Structure 1
Amino acid sequence: MRTITMREAIIEALTEEMERDSSTVLFGEDVGKFGGIYGATKGLYEKFGNRVFDTPIAETTIVAAALGMAITGGVRPIPELQFGDFVGVAFDEVFNKLGKWRWMHGGQMEVPVTLRLPIGIAGGAGPEHSQSPQALFMHGPGLIIAVPSTPYDAKGMLKSAIRENNAVLFFEHKVLYDLKGEVPEEEYLIPFGKADVKREGSDVTIIATALQVHTALDAAKSLSNQGIDAEVIDPRTLAPLDMDTILSSVRKTGRVLIVHEEQKTGGSGAEIAAQIQENALFDLQAPIKRIGAPDLPIAQSIYLEQFYRPSEEQIITAVKELMEY
Protein backbone atom coordinates (compact mmCIF):
# COMPACT_ATOMS: atom_id res chain seq x y z
CA MET A 1 0.00 0.00 0.00
CA ARG A 2 1.24 3.52 -0.77
CA THR A 3 2.42 5.87 1.97
CA ILE A 4 1.36 9.54 2.04
CA THR A 5 1.25 12.37 4.59
CA MET A 6 -1.86 13.39 6.49
CA ARG A 7 -1.79 16.67 4.55
CA GLU A 8 -1.92 14.73 1.28
CA ALA A 9 -4.68 12.50 2.65
CA ILE A 10 -6.78 15.56 3.52
CA ILE A 11 -6.24 17.09 0.07
CA GLU A 12 -7.26 13.79 -1.52
CA ALA A 13 -10.42 13.60 0.57
CA LEU A 14 -11.38 17.17 -0.30
CA THR A 15 -10.63 16.61 -4.00
CA GLU A 16 -12.59 13.37 -4.23
CA GLU A 17 -15.63 14.75 -2.44
CA MET A 18 -15.66 18.00 -4.42
CA GLU A 19 -15.43 16.00 -7.63
CA ARG A 20 -18.21 13.68 -6.48
CA ASP A 21 -20.61 16.41 -5.32
CA SER A 22 -20.83 19.78 -7.09
CA SER A 23 -22.70 21.28 -4.11
CA THR A 24 -19.52 21.27 -2.01
CA VAL A 25 -17.64 24.55 -1.49
CA LEU A 26 -14.45 25.22 0.45
CA PHE A 27 -13.59 28.58 2.00
CA GLY A 28 -11.60 30.27 4.76
CA GLU A 29 -8.59 32.48 5.35
CA ASP A 30 -5.86 31.86 2.72
CA VAL A 31 -7.28 28.50 1.58
CA GLY A 32 -7.44 29.58 -2.09
CA LYS A 33 -4.44 30.58 -4.17
CA PHE A 34 -2.11 30.27 -1.16
CA GLY A 35 -3.31 26.72 -0.46
CA GLY A 36 -3.72 27.22 3.29
CA ILE A 37 -1.02 28.12 5.79
CA TYR A 38 -0.45 24.39 6.41
CA GLY A 39 -0.70 23.51 2.70
CA ALA A 40 -3.80 21.39 3.34
CA THR A 41 -5.81 22.95 0.49
CA LYS A 42 -2.98 23.21 -2.03
CA GLY A 43 -4.09 22.87 -5.66
CA LEU A 44 -7.82 22.96 -4.95
CA TYR A 45 -8.35 26.54 -6.13
CA GLU A 46 -6.71 25.72 -9.46
CA LYS A 47 -8.91 22.63 -9.83
CA PHE A 48 -12.29 23.92 -8.65
CA GLY A 49 -12.14 27.66 -9.31
CA ASN A 50 -14.76 29.75 -7.54
CA ARG A 51 -15.89 26.80 -5.43
CA VAL A 52 -12.72 27.46 -3.40
CA PHE A 53 -12.39 31.00 -2.13
CA ASP A 54 -10.68 33.16 0.48
CA THR A 55 -12.53 35.07 3.16
CA PRO A 56 -11.74 38.09 5.36
CA ILE A 57 -10.39 37.50 8.86
CA ALA A 58 -13.90 37.13 10.24
CA GLU A 59 -14.54 33.78 11.90
CA THR A 60 -18.08 34.67 12.96
CA THR A 61 -18.96 35.42 9.34
CA ILE A 62 -17.20 32.32 8.03
CA VAL A 63 -19.21 29.95 10.23
CA ALA A 64 -22.48 31.90 9.94
CA ALA A 65 -22.16 31.95 6.13
CA ALA A 66 -21.58 28.19 6.12
CA LEU A 67 -24.71 27.67 8.19
CA GLY A 68 -26.75 29.88 5.87
CA MET A 69 -25.48 28.10 2.78
CA ALA A 70 -26.28 24.72 4.29
CA ILE A 71 -29.85 25.42 5.37
CA THR A 72 -31.02 27.61 2.49
CA GLY A 73 -28.82 27.10 -0.54
CA GLY A 74 -28.50 23.34 -0.97
CA VAL A 75 -24.76 23.67 -0.41
CA ARG A 76 -22.33 21.46 1.52
CA PRO A 77 -19.87 24.00 2.92
CA ILE A 78 -16.40 23.08 4.16
CA PRO A 79 -15.19 26.16 6.05
CA GLU A 80 -11.73 26.27 7.61
CA LEU A 81 -10.62 28.41 10.52
CA GLN A 82 -6.90 29.07 10.24
CA PHE A 83 -6.37 28.10 13.89
CA GLY A 84 -8.79 26.00 15.89
CA ASP A 85 -8.43 28.50 18.74
CA PHE A 86 -10.39 31.01 16.67
CA VAL A 87 -13.52 28.91 17.13
CA GLY A 88 -13.99 31.03 20.24
CA VAL A 89 -14.68 34.04 18.02
CA ALA A 90 -17.52 32.09 16.35
CA PHE A 91 -18.64 30.29 19.50
CA ASP A 92 -22.29 31.30 19.25
CA GLU A 93 -22.58 30.09 15.65
CA VAL A 94 -20.94 26.76 16.51
CA PHE A 95 -22.36 26.04 19.95
CA ASN A 96 -25.85 27.48 19.63
CA LYS A 97 -26.58 27.07 15.93
CA LEU A 98 -24.65 24.39 14.01
CA GLY A 99 -25.58 21.60 16.37
CA LYS A 100 -29.04 22.76 17.42
CA TRP A 101 -30.91 24.35 14.54
CA ARG A 102 -32.01 21.08 12.94
CA TRP A 103 -33.58 20.11 16.25
CA MET A 104 -35.00 23.56 16.99
CA HIS A 105 -36.82 23.57 13.66
CA GLY A 106 -38.35 20.13 13.94
CA GLY A 107 -35.97 18.48 11.49
CA GLN A 108 -37.14 20.66 8.59
CA MET A 109 -33.54 21.48 7.68
CA GLU A 110 -30.23 19.67 7.52
CA VAL A 111 -26.90 21.24 8.50
CA PRO A 112 -24.22 19.54 6.36
CA VAL A 113 -21.31 21.72 7.49
CA THR A 114 -17.78 20.34 7.97
CA LEU A 115 -15.80 22.88 9.99
CA ARG A 116 -12.07 22.17 9.76
CA LEU A 117 -10.08 23.26 12.81
CA PRO A 118 -6.25 22.94 13.06
CA ILE A 119 -5.24 22.42 16.69
CA GLY A 120 -2.29 21.67 18.95
CA ILE A 121 1.06 22.87 20.16
CA ALA A 122 3.48 23.56 17.31
CA GLY A 123 6.47 25.87 17.04
CA GLY A 124 5.96 28.58 19.63
CA ALA A 125 2.62 29.83 18.33
CA GLY A 126 1.59 31.00 21.79
CA PRO A 127 -1.50 30.66 23.98
CA GLU A 128 -4.05 31.80 21.38
CA HIS A 129 -2.74 29.65 18.52
CA SER A 130 -1.77 26.34 20.18
CA GLN A 131 -4.84 25.11 22.00
CA SER A 132 -6.89 21.92 21.69
CA PRO A 133 -10.46 23.10 22.41
CA GLN A 134 -12.37 20.01 21.27
CA ALA A 135 -13.62 19.04 24.75
CA LEU A 136 -15.59 22.30 24.92
CA PHE A 137 -17.96 20.97 22.30
CA MET A 138 -18.64 17.63 23.96
CA HIS A 139 -21.11 19.77 25.93
CA GLY A 140 -22.79 20.91 22.70
CA PRO A 141 -25.54 18.45 21.72
CA GLY A 142 -25.93 17.84 18.00
CA LEU A 143 -22.27 18.31 17.08
CA ILE A 144 -20.08 15.51 15.77
CA ILE A 145 -16.49 15.83 17.02
CA ALA A 146 -13.89 14.10 14.84
CA VAL A 147 -10.20 13.93 15.84
CA PRO A 148 -8.09 11.87 13.40
CA SER A 149 -4.59 10.71 14.32
CA THR A 150 -3.32 9.10 11.10
CA PRO A 151 -3.44 9.79 7.35
CA TYR A 152 -5.72 6.76 6.92
CA ASP A 153 -8.16 8.01 9.53
CA ALA A 154 -8.00 11.62 8.30
CA LYS A 155 -9.02 10.71 4.76
CA GLY A 156 -11.76 8.25 5.64
CA MET A 157 -13.21 10.43 8.38
CA LEU A 158 -13.12 13.64 6.34
CA LYS A 159 -14.96 11.98 3.46
CA SER A 160 -17.59 10.77 5.93
CA ALA A 161 -17.81 14.26 7.44
CA ILE A 162 -18.47 15.95 4.10
CA ARG A 163 -21.27 13.48 3.32
CA GLU A 164 -22.79 13.84 6.80
CA ASN A 165 -26.06 15.80 7.03
CA ASN A 166 -25.24 17.12 10.50
CA ALA A 167 -22.49 19.52 11.53
CA VAL A 168 -19.03 18.02 12.03
CA LEU A 169 -16.15 19.72 13.86
CA PHE A 170 -13.04 18.22 12.26
CA PHE A 171 -9.98 18.80 14.45
CA GLU A 172 -6.58 18.34 12.74
CA HIS A 173 -3.41 18.42 14.85
CA LYS A 174 -0.88 20.67 13.14
CA VAL A 175 2.10 18.41 13.96
CA LEU A 176 0.39 15.50 12.21
CA TYR A 177 0.16 17.16 8.79
CA ASP A 178 3.62 15.78 7.95
CA LEU A 179 2.98 12.34 9.45
CA LYS A 180 3.21 9.58 6.86
CA GLY A 181 1.05 6.47 6.82
CA GLU A 182 -0.55 3.88 4.58
CA VAL A 183 -3.65 5.02 2.71
CA PRO A 184 -5.49 2.88 0.12
CA GLU A 185 -5.92 4.26 -3.37
CA GLU A 186 -9.46 2.90 -3.59
CA GLU A 187 -12.31 4.78 -1.95
CA TYR A 188 -13.21 4.06 1.68
CA LEU A 189 -15.15 5.74 4.48
CA ILE A 190 -14.67 5.54 8.24
CA PRO A 191 -17.93 5.67 10.22
CA PHE A 192 -18.28 7.99 13.18
CA GLY A 193 -18.59 6.51 16.65
CA LYS A 194 -16.17 3.66 16.01
CA ALA A 195 -12.92 3.68 18.00
CA ASP A 196 -9.78 2.03 16.69
CA VAL A 197 -7.52 -0.30 18.66
CA LYS A 198 -4.14 0.96 17.46
CA ARG A 199 -2.25 -1.67 19.48
CA GLU A 200 -3.57 -4.73 21.28
CA GLY A 201 -2.40 -5.51 24.80
CA SER A 202 -3.44 -7.26 27.99
CA ASP A 203 -2.01 -5.35 30.98
CA VAL A 204 -3.21 -1.73 30.67
CA THR A 205 -5.48 0.32 28.41
CA ILE A 206 -4.11 3.64 27.16
CA ILE A 207 -6.79 5.85 25.59
CA ALA A 208 -5.29 8.68 23.54
CA THR A 209 -6.30 11.20 20.89
CA ALA A 210 -4.63 13.12 18.03
CA LEU A 211 -0.83 13.44 18.39
CA GLN A 212 -0.88 11.65 21.72
CA VAL A 213 -1.89 8.40 20.01
CA HIS A 214 1.65 8.26 18.65
CA THR A 215 3.21 9.23 21.97
CA ALA A 216 1.21 6.40 23.55
CA LEU A 217 2.32 3.93 20.89
CA ASP A 218 5.96 4.89 21.45
CA ALA A 219 5.49 4.44 25.19
CA ALA A 220 3.78 1.08 24.66
CA LYS A 221 6.76 -0.11 22.62
CA SER A 222 9.15 0.90 25.41
CA LEU A 223 6.92 -0.74 28.03
CA SER A 224 6.84 -3.98 26.07
CA ASN A 225 10.61 -4.21 26.48
CA GLN A 226 9.99 -4.08 30.22
CA GLY A 227 7.40 -6.83 30.21
CA ILE A 228 4.27 -4.62 30.24
CA ASP A 229 1.75 -5.18 27.44
CA ALA A 230 -0.21 -1.97 26.76
CA GLU A 231 -3.30 -1.67 24.59
CA VAL A 232 -3.71 1.69 22.81
CA ILE A 233 -7.16 2.90 21.81
CA ASP A 234 -7.95 5.95 19.67
CA PRO A 235 -11.62 7.00 20.07
CA ARG A 236 -11.39 8.86 16.73
CA THR A 237 -14.63 10.68 17.52
CA LEU A 238 -15.39 12.25 20.89
CA ALA A 239 -19.05 12.62 19.89
CA PRO A 240 -20.34 10.06 19.25
CA LEU A 241 -18.05 8.26 21.69
CA ASP A 242 -17.52 4.52 21.24
CA MET A 243 -17.64 3.37 24.85
CA ASP A 244 -18.27 -0.26 23.85
CA THR A 245 -14.74 -0.64 22.47
CA ILE A 246 -13.25 1.25 25.42
CA LEU A 247 -15.16 -0.77 28.04
CA SER A 248 -14.27 -4.05 26.35
CA SER A 249 -10.60 -3.17 26.67
CA VAL A 250 -10.98 -1.97 30.27
CA ARG A 251 -12.66 -5.22 31.29
CA LYS A 252 -9.75 -7.11 29.75
CA THR A 253 -6.87 -5.12 31.28
CA GLY A 254 -8.34 -3.67 34.49
CA ARG A 255 -6.09 -0.60 34.30
CA VAL A 256 -6.68 2.67 32.43
CA LEU A 257 -4.59 5.68 31.47
CA ILE A 258 -6.14 8.50 29.42
CA VAL A 259 -3.79 10.87 27.57
CA HIS A 260 -4.59 14.04 25.64
CA GLU A 261 -3.05 17.43 24.86
CA GLU A 262 -6.14 19.23 26.10
CA GLN A 263 -6.00 20.65 29.61
CA LYS A 264 -6.49 17.91 32.17
CA THR A 265 -9.27 19.74 34.00
CA GLY A 266 -12.48 19.33 32.04
CA GLY A 267 -10.73 17.60 29.15
CA SER A 268 -12.30 14.77 27.16
CA GLY A 269 -10.53 12.32 29.46
CA ALA A 270 -12.72 13.41 32.35
CA GLU A 271 -15.88 12.32 30.52
CA ILE A 272 -14.31 9.05 29.38
CA ALA A 273 -13.14 8.32 32.94
CA ALA A 274 -16.61 9.07 34.33
CA GLN A 275 -18.26 6.68 31.90
CA ILE A 276 -15.71 3.95 32.66
CA GLN A 277 -16.33 4.13 36.41
CA GLU A 278 -20.10 4.17 35.84
CA ASN A 279 -20.02 1.04 33.70
CA ALA A 280 -16.91 -0.92 34.68
CA LEU A 281 -15.95 0.13 38.21
CA PHE A 282 -15.64 -3.42 39.53
CA ASP A 283 -13.49 -4.46 36.58
CA LEU A 284 -10.82 -1.95 37.57
CA GLN A 285 -7.75 -3.11 39.45
CA ALA A 286 -6.43 0.43 39.94
CA PRO A 287 -7.72 4.02 39.89
CA ILE A 288 -8.09 5.61 36.47
CA LYS A 289 -5.17 7.91 35.65
CA ARG A 290 -5.22 10.93 33.33
CA ILE A 291 -2.42 12.92 31.70
CA GLY A 292 -3.17 16.28 30.11
CA ALA A 293 -1.80 19.78 29.75
CA PRO A 294 -1.55 21.95 32.89
CA ASP A 295 -4.26 24.51 33.59
CA LEU A 296 -2.19 27.40 32.31
CA PRO A 297 -2.02 29.38 29.05
CA ILE A 298 0.40 27.67 26.66
CA ALA A 299 3.84 29.29 26.65
CA GLN A 300 5.10 31.23 23.65
CA SER A 301 8.60 29.80 24.06
CA ILE A 302 9.32 26.75 21.90
CA TYR A 303 11.25 25.35 24.86
CA LEU A 304 8.62 25.94 27.52
CA GLU A 305 5.71 24.77 25.38
CA GLN A 306 7.12 21.24 25.47
CA PHE A 307 6.24 21.05 29.15
CA TYR A 308 2.55 21.39 28.22
CA ARG A 309 2.50 18.39 25.92
CA PRO A 310 2.31 14.90 27.52
CA SER A 311 5.52 12.95 27.01
CA GLU A 312 6.46 9.34 26.51
CA GLU A 313 8.23 9.41 29.88
CA GLN A 314 5.07 10.62 31.65
CA ILE A 315 3.07 7.79 30.12
CA ILE A 316 5.65 5.16 31.09
CA THR A 317 5.78 6.44 34.67
CA ALA A 318 1.98 6.50 34.98
CA VAL A 319 1.63 2.98 33.58
CA LYS A 320 4.24 1.63 36.00
CA GLU A 321 2.33 3.23 38.86
CA LEU A 322 -0.86 1.52 37.68
CA MET A 323 0.92 -1.82 37.53
CA GLU A 324 1.84 -1.55 41.21
CA TYR A 325 -1.79 -2.01 42.28
Structure 2
Amino acid sequence: MRCLSGTSARSIYTFPLVGVMCASLSLLGSSIDGHAESRPKPAVPPPVAPSLDVDVATVVCPSCDQKFEFPGHEEANANLVGNKYVQELRQAMYWQDSYHQFESKAHFDNCAFGESIQYIAELLKEVNTHVASAQGDIDNGRDDAAEGYAKKAFFSLGQALHATQDLYAHSNYVELMSRKYKKVVEIPILHPWEPQHVKKIGELKKTGLVSGYVFWGFPQTCPKGVPSHANLAKDSPTMKSGKLVIPHFENLTRYKVALFLAREASKDLIVYAFERWPLLERMSGKYVAFEIFQERRGI
Protein backbone atom coordinates (compact mmCIF):
# COMPACT_ATOMS: atom_id res chain seq x y z
CA MET A 1 0.00 0.00 0.00
CA ARG A 2 1.41 3.36 -1.02
CA CYS A 3 1.15 5.97 1.75
CA LEU A 4 0.29 9.58 1.02
CA SER A 5 2.07 12.46 2.66
CA GLY A 6 1.44 16.10 3.35
CA THR A 7 0.84 18.35 6.33
CA SER A 8 -0.97 21.37 4.91
CA ALA A 9 -4.15 22.43 6.63
CA ARG A 10 -6.46 21.38 3.79
CA SER A 11 -4.52 18.50 2.29
CA ILE A 12 -6.13 15.95 4.59
CA TYR A 13 -9.58 16.95 3.34
CA THR A 14 -9.05 15.31 -0.05
CA PHE A 15 -6.83 12.35 0.88
CA PRO A 16 -8.40 8.89 0.75
CA LEU A 17 -8.99 7.65 4.29
CA VAL A 18 -6.63 4.67 3.98
CA GLY A 19 -3.86 6.85 2.59
CA VAL A 20 -4.08 9.41 5.35
CA MET A 21 -4.21 6.82 8.08
CA CYS A 22 -1.16 5.17 6.57
CA ALA A 23 0.68 8.49 6.56
CA SER A 24 -0.20 9.09 10.19
CA LEU A 25 0.63 5.59 11.36
CA SER A 26 4.01 5.70 9.65
CA LEU A 27 5.03 8.34 12.14
CA LEU A 28 4.49 6.02 15.08
CA GLY A 29 7.88 4.44 14.65
CA SER A 30 9.77 7.69 14.10
CA SER A 31 12.18 9.32 16.51
CA ILE A 32 12.00 12.77 18.02
CA ASP A 33 15.06 15.02 17.62
CA GLY A 34 17.10 11.99 16.64
CA HIS A 35 16.36 10.04 19.82
CA ALA A 36 14.39 6.83 19.55
CA GLU A 37 11.33 6.66 21.78
CA SER A 38 10.50 3.36 23.48
CA ARG A 39 7.17 4.49 24.91
CA PRO A 40 4.14 3.42 22.87
CA LYS A 41 2.34 6.05 20.84
CA PRO A 42 -1.45 6.20 21.10
CA ALA A 43 -3.60 4.75 18.36
CA VAL A 44 -5.17 7.06 15.82
CA PRO A 45 -8.72 7.87 17.01
CA PRO A 46 -11.62 7.52 14.56
CA PRO A 47 -12.33 10.75 12.66
CA VAL A 48 -16.12 10.48 12.76
CA ALA A 49 -18.06 13.18 14.60
CA PRO A 50 -20.97 11.91 16.69
CA SER A 51 -24.50 13.14 16.17
CA LEU A 52 -25.01 16.68 17.36
CA ASP A 53 -26.64 16.95 20.78
CA VAL A 54 -28.05 20.47 20.70
CA ASP A 55 -28.98 20.30 24.37
CA VAL A 56 -25.33 20.22 25.46
CA ALA A 57 -23.59 21.93 22.54
CA THR A 58 -22.67 25.60 22.52
CA VAL A 59 -25.03 27.46 20.18
CA VAL A 60 -24.09 30.77 18.62
CA CYS A 61 -26.26 33.15 16.61
CA PRO A 62 -23.90 35.95 15.51
CA SER A 63 -26.62 38.15 14.02
CA CYS A 64 -29.15 37.69 16.85
CA ASP A 65 -29.71 40.08 19.72
CA GLN A 66 -29.25 37.06 21.96
CA LYS A 67 -26.09 35.66 20.43
CA PHE A 68 -25.13 32.81 22.67
CA GLU A 69 -26.18 29.67 24.41
CA PHE A 70 -29.81 28.79 24.46
CA PRO A 71 -29.77 24.97 24.35
CA GLY A 72 -33.14 23.46 23.57
CA HIS A 73 -34.36 26.53 21.67
CA GLU A 74 -36.78 25.04 19.12
CA GLU A 75 -35.80 27.28 16.23
CA ALA A 76 -32.10 26.65 16.81
CA ASN A 77 -32.65 22.90 17.02
CA ALA A 78 -34.63 22.83 13.78
CA ASN A 79 -31.90 24.71 11.94
CA LEU A 80 -28.97 22.78 13.40
CA VAL A 81 -30.02 19.15 13.21
CA GLY A 82 -28.91 17.95 9.81
CA ASN A 83 -27.25 21.26 8.87
CA LYS A 84 -24.56 20.16 6.40
CA TYR A 85 -22.38 23.19 7.05
CA VAL A 86 -22.44 22.85 10.83
CA GLN A 87 -21.68 19.17 10.37
CA GLU A 88 -18.67 20.09 8.25
CA LEU A 89 -17.37 22.43 10.96
CA ARG A 90 -17.82 19.78 13.66
CA GLN A 91 -16.29 17.07 11.49
CA ALA A 92 -13.15 19.17 11.14
CA MET A 93 -12.90 19.58 14.90
CA TYR A 94 -12.91 15.81 15.39
CA TRP A 95 -10.60 15.10 12.47
CA GLN A 96 -7.84 17.22 13.98
CA ASP A 97 -7.07 14.55 16.56
CA SER A 98 -6.99 11.88 13.85
CA TYR A 99 -5.14 13.49 10.95
CA HIS A 100 -3.08 16.15 12.71
CA GLN A 101 -2.40 14.43 16.01
CA PHE A 102 1.38 14.51 15.49
CA GLU A 103 1.52 18.22 14.67
CA SER A 104 2.11 20.53 17.62
CA LYS A 105 0.75 23.51 15.69
CA ALA A 106 -2.71 21.98 15.44
CA HIS A 107 -3.06 21.72 19.24
CA PHE A 108 -0.82 24.37 20.83
CA ASP A 109 1.37 21.49 22.04
CA ASN A 110 5.09 21.56 22.85
CA CYS A 111 5.16 25.33 23.42
CA ALA A 112 4.64 25.84 19.67
CA PHE A 113 2.69 29.06 20.15
CA GLY A 114 4.08 30.83 17.10
CA GLU A 115 3.47 27.82 14.87
CA SER A 116 -0.08 27.41 16.18
CA ILE A 117 -0.88 31.08 15.67
CA GLN A 118 0.42 30.90 12.10
CA TYR A 119 -1.61 27.74 11.53
CA ILE A 120 -4.82 29.49 12.58
CA ALA A 121 -3.96 32.42 10.30
CA GLU A 122 -3.48 30.02 7.37
CA LEU A 123 -6.79 28.32 8.08
CA LEU A 124 -8.65 31.63 8.11
CA LYS A 125 -6.98 32.53 4.81
CA GLU A 126 -8.41 29.28 3.49
CA VAL A 127 -11.86 30.31 4.70
CA ASN A 128 -11.45 33.58 2.80
CA THR A 129 -10.39 31.76 -0.38
CA HIS A 130 -13.26 29.27 -0.23
CA VAL A 131 -15.83 32.00 0.47
CA ALA A 132 -14.58 33.99 -2.52
CA SER A 133 -14.85 30.90 -4.72
CA ALA A 134 -18.36 30.19 -3.45
CA GLN A 135 -19.45 33.74 -4.14
CA GLY A 136 -18.02 33.55 -7.66
CA ASP A 137 -19.97 30.38 -8.34
CA ILE A 138 -23.17 31.93 -6.99
CA ASP A 139 -22.68 34.95 -9.23
CA ASN A 140 -22.37 32.62 -12.21
CA GLY A 141 -25.31 30.40 -11.32
CA ARG A 142 -23.24 27.41 -10.18
CA ASP A 143 -25.03 26.75 -6.90
CA ASP A 144 -23.79 23.16 -6.49
CA ALA A 145 -20.18 24.26 -6.81
CA ALA A 146 -20.82 27.11 -4.36
CA GLU A 147 -22.13 24.63 -1.81
CA GLY A 148 -18.93 22.62 -2.06
CA TYR A 149 -16.74 25.66 -1.45
CA ALA A 150 -18.93 26.79 1.46
CA LYS A 151 -18.50 23.37 3.07
CA LYS A 152 -14.74 23.70 2.72
CA ALA A 153 -14.90 27.13 4.35
CA PHE A 154 -16.72 25.68 7.34
CA PHE A 155 -14.23 22.82 7.51
CA SER A 156 -11.28 25.20 7.72
CA LEU A 157 -13.12 27.27 10.31
CA GLY A 158 -13.68 24.13 12.39
CA GLN A 159 -9.98 23.35 12.31
CA ALA A 160 -9.21 26.87 13.55
CA LEU A 161 -11.84 26.48 16.26
CA HIS A 162 -10.22 23.29 17.57
CA ALA A 163 -6.79 24.93 17.74
CA THR A 164 -8.19 28.00 19.50
CA GLN A 165 -9.79 25.85 22.20
CA ASP A 166 -6.54 23.96 22.72
CA LEU A 167 -4.76 27.19 23.62
CA TYR A 168 -6.69 27.10 26.89
CA ALA A 169 -6.78 23.33 27.36
CA HIS A 170 -3.11 22.58 26.71
CA SER A 171 -1.30 25.57 28.20
CA ASN A 172 -0.81 26.95 31.71
CA TYR A 173 -2.78 30.12 30.90
CA VAL A 174 -5.38 29.25 33.54
CA GLU A 175 -2.67 28.83 36.17
CA LEU A 176 -0.98 32.11 35.30
CA MET A 177 -4.23 34.08 35.27
CA SER A 178 -5.51 32.53 38.51
CA ARG A 179 -2.58 34.18 40.28
CA LYS A 180 -3.47 37.59 38.86
CA TYR A 181 -7.26 37.82 38.92
CA LYS A 182 -9.84 37.37 41.66
CA LYS A 183 -12.73 36.35 39.39
CA VAL A 184 -12.88 34.11 36.35
CA VAL A 185 -14.82 36.70 34.35
CA GLU A 186 -11.92 39.13 34.75
CA ILE A 187 -9.51 36.87 32.85
CA PRO A 188 -8.80 38.23 29.35
CA ILE A 189 -10.07 36.10 26.47
CA LEU A 190 -7.24 35.62 24.00
CA HIS A 191 -7.98 35.69 20.27
CA PRO A 192 -4.99 34.05 18.55
CA TRP A 193 -6.27 35.33 15.18
CA GLU A 194 -5.98 39.04 16.14
CA PRO A 195 -2.61 40.87 16.00
CA GLN A 196 -2.94 42.58 19.37
CA HIS A 197 -3.70 39.28 21.06
CA VAL A 198 -0.84 37.56 19.25
CA LYS A 199 1.43 40.22 20.73
CA LYS A 200 -0.03 39.52 24.18
CA ILE A 201 0.67 35.80 23.83
CA GLY A 202 4.26 36.63 22.94
CA GLU A 203 4.57 38.73 26.08
CA LEU A 204 3.09 35.94 28.19
CA LYS A 205 5.66 33.49 26.83
CA LYS A 206 8.36 35.70 28.29
CA THR A 207 6.73 35.48 31.71
CA GLY A 208 6.12 31.74 31.88
CA LEU A 209 3.41 30.73 29.40
CA VAL A 210 4.05 27.15 28.26
CA SER A 211 2.10 24.22 26.87
CA GLY A 212 2.49 20.55 27.63
CA TYR A 213 5.31 18.42 26.27
CA VAL A 214 4.15 15.67 23.88
CA PHE A 215 7.02 13.29 23.19
CA TRP A 216 5.75 12.18 19.78
CA GLY A 217 4.59 15.60 18.58
CA PHE A 218 6.60 18.03 16.46
CA PRO A 219 8.04 20.56 16.50
CA GLN A 220 9.19 20.50 20.12
CA THR A 221 10.08 24.00 21.29
CA CYS A 222 9.68 23.79 25.07
CA PRO A 223 12.60 24.42 27.43
CA LYS A 224 13.63 21.57 29.68
CA GLY A 225 11.44 20.94 32.68
CA VAL A 226 8.11 21.84 31.10
CA PRO A 227 5.34 19.48 32.32
CA SER A 228 4.03 16.78 30.02
CA HIS A 229 0.67 17.12 28.34
CA ALA A 230 -0.75 14.53 30.73
CA ASN A 231 0.29 16.63 33.72
CA LEU A 232 -0.68 20.05 32.33
CA ALA A 233 -3.72 19.60 30.08
CA LYS A 234 -7.25 20.41 31.17
CA ASP A 235 -9.31 18.73 28.45
CA SER A 236 -11.47 16.84 30.93
CA PRO A 237 -12.51 17.07 34.59
CA THR A 238 -10.57 13.90 35.39
CA MET A 239 -7.16 14.95 34.08
CA LYS A 240 -4.44 15.58 36.67
CA SER A 241 -4.42 19.35 36.25
CA GLY A 242 -8.05 19.65 35.21
CA LYS A 243 -9.44 18.31 38.47
CA LEU A 244 -7.47 20.69 40.69
CA VAL A 245 -9.61 23.29 42.46
CA ILE A 246 -8.92 27.03 42.47
CA PRO A 247 -10.33 28.18 45.85
CA HIS A 248 -10.64 31.91 45.14
CA PHE A 249 -12.53 31.15 41.91
CA GLU A 250 -15.42 29.83 44.01
CA ASN A 251 -13.76 26.40 44.07
CA LEU A 252 -14.04 25.93 40.32
CA THR A 253 -11.69 23.35 38.89
CA ARG A 254 -9.03 24.31 36.38
CA TYR A 255 -11.00 22.31 33.82
CA LYS A 256 -14.10 24.44 34.42
CA VAL A 257 -12.10 27.66 34.10
CA ALA A 258 -10.38 26.48 30.91
CA LEU A 259 -13.76 25.36 29.55
CA PHE A 260 -15.25 28.79 30.19
CA LEU A 261 -12.36 30.61 28.52
CA ALA A 262 -12.31 28.27 25.52
CA ARG A 263 -16.06 28.61 25.08
CA GLU A 264 -15.87 32.40 25.12
CA ALA A 265 -12.98 32.43 22.63
CA SER A 266 -14.87 29.99 20.39
CA LYS A 267 -17.96 32.18 20.39
CA ASP A 268 -15.83 35.18 19.52
CA LEU A 269 -14.21 33.36 16.60
CA ILE A 270 -17.59 32.36 15.16
CA VAL A 271 -18.89 35.93 15.47
CA TYR A 272 -15.68 37.23 13.86
CA ALA A 273 -16.01 34.79 10.96
CA PHE A 274 -19.69 35.48 10.30
CA GLU A 275 -19.18 39.23 10.42
CA ARG A 276 -16.15 39.05 8.10
CA TRP A 277 -17.77 36.58 5.68
CA PRO A 278 -21.57 37.16 5.60
CA LEU A 279 -21.88 34.41 2.99
CA LEU A 280 -21.36 31.86 5.78
CA GLU A 281 -24.67 32.83 7.36
CA ARG A 282 -26.46 33.09 4.00
CA MET A 283 -25.42 29.54 3.15
CA SER A 284 -25.86 27.82 6.51
CA GLY A 285 -28.43 29.85 8.42
CA LYS A 286 -27.90 32.02 11.47
CA TYR A 287 -27.16 29.31 14.04
CA VAL A 288 -23.90 27.45 14.64
CA ALA A 289 -23.30 24.70 17.20
CA PHE A 290 -20.13 22.99 18.34
CA GLU A 291 -18.57 21.12 21.25
CA ILE A 292 -15.74 22.24 23.53
CA PHE A 293 -12.63 20.12 24.27
CA GLN A 294 -12.73 16.96 22.19
CA GLU A 295 -9.26 15.60 23.07
CA ARG A 296 -9.26 11.98 21.89
CA ARG A 297 -5.56 11.31 21.34
CA GLY A 298 -5.11 9.17 24.45
CA ILE A 299 -2.42 11.32 26.07
Q: TM-score, normalised by structure 2?
A: 0.30
Query: Which structure shows the bigger proportion of residues in strand conformation?
Result: 1
**Structure number having the greater helix percentage:** 2
